[in-house]
């Protein structure tokens, strides 16, 4: 009688063990970029309410029985044959050192789609775990796979043209000493909104047949890439989505690539910043740019290159000279940038700068940087709350438009050690209400329209033009001082380094000192004014000094109505009266 009861129990247990809670067959979940539809793993029969499912005893090396409780894959039962999709849901799977999983061509490995789950791969240096096959579908960590980890793992021949060898939609995952070989295309696809828990000592040197598609990641998690991993020649890390936090891009030995506009904008009450370290190369697509503070701020940019290893921002593609990228755009929410040892090339265009600043909180510092191969302006400053902290030791090569274009008030104190090509210039426009000094930076200043120098009711504004400078005015150009508020012009050249105020094209409107303005001119040449304009016009209440002023290519002389100014040493072309009194 007892033997009959025992036989019945064994039969019932065997019957219960055949019921499967998680499928091991079917197509893998979706593999698109973030936001794309995700196809769930297939489902099969589940245990009825009166049944008690248990993992079968023994090795289960072919996964004939579904995993329905926490389980461990052991070396003694290895190798394991995965003949169809292996889905891990609602349990923890531990894989011990030395285990080998052989995946069939249609098989894949999905974790945490329906229920929280995790996989713990615990290989060692002496006994790594191996996932292999001829051409299988790869590993995918779903949003509920948090806590998974992969240590000392070899992944062979995983992924397809459309699916990465390793995809994760959870940031709470770590990879340590993982080697990939033989992937069809993309090896890592990181679809998360923050850095992974860990990513160290990857060997990707023989990971893919197409290293130009090696890694796709959101920019928010790109900070995990750095020294310590191995990459093949020509490896590309593609950056997607926007950045709403603080990250640092270090040089991993691969190139970062941005296909579309990358926005850096902080969530309400927080900050967002992008720091780029020495040796990093960042390639932008034709329609791509780095946009800081478009929606809100504060958003920051720090470029920390070195002389030996500058940061390079360039354009990818075959026609990069004719179809430049959008470059770097700093907008109303942008903090003052800190840029040191940057190479910026193939960016901007005829109507925009390669580096553009509009309504920024400050201009910050731009030092030791090179701007080259540009069809438009190198640096375009439309407006900013604060001037440059430093602008020095920069080089401008092959720039078709202005090296720097900015309002007069923001042109104060530019460094004298910048290097320009023969055709390079700095464009000025607008007004200054503050004391402003135009240093001799080694390139002429080009003036668009009228430059105005006006202080306020409490303090005059002084424009100082350093010795050796040349200012070239367009046809609508003029220099107007103290038109509606106190202002002063100080332009003191030397015999060896005179100051030149002249025309860019056909003529310009000359210099006007108005109201109770003041002037100090010495060793200055004024040339090319229009037939109807005085090269220098002083109204009756103007004070100051005018010495050694040379008027050339003008139809009129200095017009002096100022009772307290006694011009001395003023010369003009033959036939032109040098000084005309009211």
- What CA–CA distance (Å, rounded) separates 87 from 66? 9
- What CA–CA distance (Å, rounded) separates 139 from 28? 9
102 in Cβ contact with 131 (< 8 Å): no
Least confident of 30-39, 60-69, 312-321, 408-417: 30-39
Question: Does residue 432 surpass a pLDDT of 60?
Answer: yes
pLDDT class of 8 with cuts at 50, 70, 90: very low
CA distances for 212 relative to 161, 203, 219, angstroms:
13, 16, 17
**In this predicted structure, what is the pLDDT of residue 359?**
96
**Geometric angle at alpha carbon 205, from 220 and 123, rounded to 5°:** 80
- What CA–CA distance (Å, rounded) separates 552 from 572? 6
Q: Which H or E run contains 366? A: strand 364-367
- What CA–CA distance (Å, rounded) separates 98 from 152? 10
Nearest CA-CA partner of 68 in 19, 113, 12, 30:
19
Q: For 401-416, write each residue's pLDDT tens digit.
A: 999 999 999 999 999 8
Question: Does residue 488 surpass a pLDDT of 50?
Answer: yes
pLDDT class of 52 with cuts at 50, 70, 90: very low
Tokens of 355: 């580096």
Least confident of 16-20, 118-122, 418-422, 494-498: 16-20
Nearest CA-CA partner of 502 in 478, 476, 473:
473
- Predicted model pTM: 0.88
Nearest CA-CA partner of 142 in 115, 170, 163, 120:
170
- Residue 234 phi, psi dihedral angles, 5° rounding: 80, 15
Q: For 314-355, write each residue's pLDDT tens digit.
A: 999 988 989 999 999 999 999 999 999 999 999 998 878 999
SS3 207: strand
Least confident of 55-64, 364-373, 516-525: 55-64
The structure tokens 């940019």 sit at 301
**In this predicted structure, what is the pLDDT of residue 38?**
53
CA dihedral 28, 34, 35, 41 (to 10 degrees): 10
CA distances for 168 relative to 107, 154, 309, 433, 563, angstroms:
17, 17, 32, 55, 81
Looking at the DSSP bridge assignments, the partners of residue 78 are: none
Least confident of 5-14, 74-83, 511-520: 5-14
HEC string for 151-168:
EEEEEECECCCCCCCEEE
The structure tokens 């002084």 sit at 462
Peptide bond into 298 cis (omega under 30): yes
Q: What percent of the chain has pLDDT over 70?
A: 90
């Amino acid at each position: 009688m007892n033997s009959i009861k025992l036989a019945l129990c064994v039969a019932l247990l065997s019957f219960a063990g055949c019921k499967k809670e998680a499928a091991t067959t079917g197509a893998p979940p979706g593999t698109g970029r973030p936001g794309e539809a995700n196809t769930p793993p297939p489902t099969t029969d589940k245990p009825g309410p009166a049944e008690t499912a248990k993992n079968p005893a023994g090795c289960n090396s072919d996964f004939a029985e579904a995993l329905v409780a926490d389980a461990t894959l052991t070396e003694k039962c290895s190798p394991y044959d995965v003949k169809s999709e292996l889905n891990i849901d609602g349990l923890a799977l531990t894989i011990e050192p030395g285990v080998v999983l052989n995946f069939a061509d249609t098989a894949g490995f999905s974790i945490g789609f329906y229920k929280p789950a995790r996989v713990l791969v615990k290989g060692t240096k002496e006994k790594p775990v191996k996932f292999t096959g001829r051409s299988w579908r790869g590993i995918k960590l779903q949003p509920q796979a948090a806590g998974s980890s992969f240590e000392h793992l070899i992944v062979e021949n995983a992924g397809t043209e459309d699916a990465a060898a390793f995809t994760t939609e959870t940031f709470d995952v770590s990879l340590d000493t993982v080697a990939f070989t033989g992937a069809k295309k993309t090896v890592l696809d990181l679809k998360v909104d923050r850095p992974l828990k860990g990513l160290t000592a990857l060997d990707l040197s023989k990971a893919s047949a197409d290293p130009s598609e090696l890694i796709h990641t959101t920019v928010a998690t790109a900070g995990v890439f750095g020294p310590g991993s191995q990459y093949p020649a020509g490896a590309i890390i593609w950056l997607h989505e926007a950045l709403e936090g603080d990250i640092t891009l270090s040089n991993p030995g691969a190139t970062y690539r941005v296909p579309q506009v990358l926005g850096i904008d902080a969530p309400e009450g927080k900050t967002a910043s992008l720091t780029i370290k020495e040796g990093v190369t960042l390639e932008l697509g034709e329609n791509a740019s780095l946009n800081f503070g478009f929606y809100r701020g504060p958003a920051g940019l720090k470029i920390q290159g070195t002389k030996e290893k500058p940061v390079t921002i360039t354009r990818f593609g075959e026609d990069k000279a004719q179809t430049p990228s959008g470059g770097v755009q700093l907008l109303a929410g942008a903090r003052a940038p800190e840029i040191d040892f940057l190479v910026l090339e193939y960016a901007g265009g005829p109507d925009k700068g390669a580096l553009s600043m509009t309504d920024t909180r400050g201009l910050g510092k731009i030092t030791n940087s090179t701007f080259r191969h540009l069809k438009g302006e190198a640096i375009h400053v439309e407006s900013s709350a604060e001037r440059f902290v430093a602008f020095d030791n920069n080089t401008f090569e092959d720039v078709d438009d202005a090296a720097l274009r900015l309002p007069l008030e923001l042109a104060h104190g530019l460094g004298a050690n910048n290097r320009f090509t023969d055709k390079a210039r700095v464009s000025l426009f607008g007004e200054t209400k503050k004391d402003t000094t135009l240093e001799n930076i080694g390139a002429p200043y080009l003036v668009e329209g009228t430059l105005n120098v006006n202080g306020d009711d409490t303090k005059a504004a002084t424009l100082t033009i350093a010795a050796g400078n040349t200012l070239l005015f367009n046809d609508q150009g003029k220099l107007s001082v103290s038109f509606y508020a106190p202002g002063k012009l100080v332009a003191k050249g030397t015999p060896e380094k005179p100051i030149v105020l002249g025309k860019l094209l056909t003529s310009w409107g000359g210099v006007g000192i108005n109201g109770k303005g003041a002037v100090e001119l010495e060793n200055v040449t004024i040339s090319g004014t229009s037939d109807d304009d005085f090269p220098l016009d002083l109204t009756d209440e103007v004070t100051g000094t005018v010495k050694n002023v040379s008027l050339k290519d003008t139809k009129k002389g200095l017009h002096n109505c100022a009772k307290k100014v006694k011009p001395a040493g003023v010369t003009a072309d033959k036939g032109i009266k040098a000084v005309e009194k009211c």
